[in-house]
Amino acid sequence: MPRSSIRRLFTSAFALSSEGVKVYGLHIGDPDFDMPQRIADGVSDAIAAGHTHYSPMAGIPALRDAIVSHRQRRMGIEIPRNRVIVSQGATQALNSSLQLCVDSGQRVLFPMIYFPNYIQQSTLAGVEVDPYELDESFQPVLEKLEQQVTPDTRAMLINTPSNPTGVLFPPETVRALYDFARRHNLWVISDEAYSDFVYRGEYLSPLSIDWEYPEEERRVIAVYSFSKSYAATGLRMGYMLAPNDSAAFRLELMNEPLTGSLTTPLQYAMVRALEVDDTAERRDALLERWQLAGELLAGCGLKFASPDGGLFYFIDISPTGMDGDTFADRLLAEEHVAVVPGSGFGLVGSRDAAGTLAFTPNALAARCVRVSFAAPRADMEEGVKRLVAFIRRNS
């Protein structure tokens, strides 16, 4: 299984800061905001009330109901409670969704630049990955999709806004991807981890399109995370929404071997999280950092696709003559700024004659680096200034 390049840089940055060096950490997608107090209180209140035992496999009813109401307010659709399956972060929800939709040896379509967990989970499940092409603006090349479907293709993954590109697929693109999946009877796994952080453009979820169709034709499993929306990455809470009873039942069943039951006090805390809709506060704070980072980066002299949402700029640094890995290593050593090489976001697996799987980055990913603007504002500003100076010195 490939190692994530995020972790590689994390380890190097950690080693440097352990030596007492101030490192400007633009590598991690973890907003520095304090988690709302009501969530922390929710954990301790639940423990004090004795909610410390196993809980129902799909999650406690109060949380599933709170999620139903939340989605109804957000999207105007009323998901039946039995279709809501609580998970250990979006990470586990993605893993369960993949295992539900695609058996070992079958195939899934991912964007060619993607969140590294997708390839790790596919590799663990023995699932074959076909990356779908993105253009220079990181939008899907729709005309090429048809050629990639095989009789073994079972699912397509959509992540908008994306980690790492930050790009939002416009409504017509989401619709085209959905129609494509429908034509080929594919599942759609929609990773909505950043759907609360959109700074411009119109956001359309594949789930909204799915609800235009009768229930027996629905195909979207939507995956959500409490991590970024509620500044609670360490609590590891998320959920998935199933399109029909049978999928819901199977996803619930998978919670048993994968989690043994979700952490009970944290589920009570997430009920509290959803009592107040304050995600816009964090979105606005990030929007301000997104703007500032964009203004500073404009001075680097490189062309790059500005993100529409999420937490990252994904920049082609090839005019510096370096690949993303060399660039990230040198930037850390010379400027003490940590960014993530793009290579890990575009690994493609291939087997040698003996059947051993090896991973190499695609050319687009290899010439990029991912820059997070979720770091504390002052660190982000200084880090991006140093990054810009480094690019100018090397261009």
Ligand X SMILES: Cc1ncc(COP(=O)(O)O)c(C=O)c1O
- Site residues, ligand X (CB under 6 A): 29, 89-91, 115, 159, 163, 191, 193, 225, 227, 233, 238
C-beta closer to ligand X: residue 233 or 318? 233
Of 146, 136, 224, the C-alpha closest to 186 is 146
Nearest to ligand X of 91, 255 (CB atom): 91
> Measuring CA to CA, which residue among 382, 306, 294 is closest to residue 338?
382
Give me the least distance between CB of 309 and ligand X, in Å please: 11
When the beta carbons of 368 and 391 are compared against ligand X, the nearer one is 368
State the minimum distance, in angstroms, from the CB of residue 374 to ligand X.
10
Cβ nearer to ligand X, comparing 55 with 225: 225
Q: Min. distance of Cβ 21 from ligand X in angstroms?
A: 26
Q: Which two tokens stand for residue 379?
A: 């660190």
89, 269 contact by CB (below 8 A): no
CB of 370 to ligand X, least distance (A): 11
The CB-nearest residue to ligand X is: 89
Give 29 or 42: the residue with its C-beta nearer to ligand X: 29
Least distance between ligand X and beta carbon 225 (Å) = 3
Nearer to ligand X, 308 or 335 (CB): 308
Q: Which residues of 169-203 are buried (b: 16+ CB within 10 A; e: fewer)?
A: bbeebbbebbebbbebebbbbbbbbbbbbbbeeeb
Q: Do 220 and 190 form a contact (C-beta atoms < 8 A)?
A: yes
Q: Write b or e for each residue in 220-235: b if 16 or more Cβ atoms lie within 10 A of its Cβ, otherwise e.
A: bbbbbbbbbbbbbbeb
CB of 173 to ligand X, least distance (A): 17
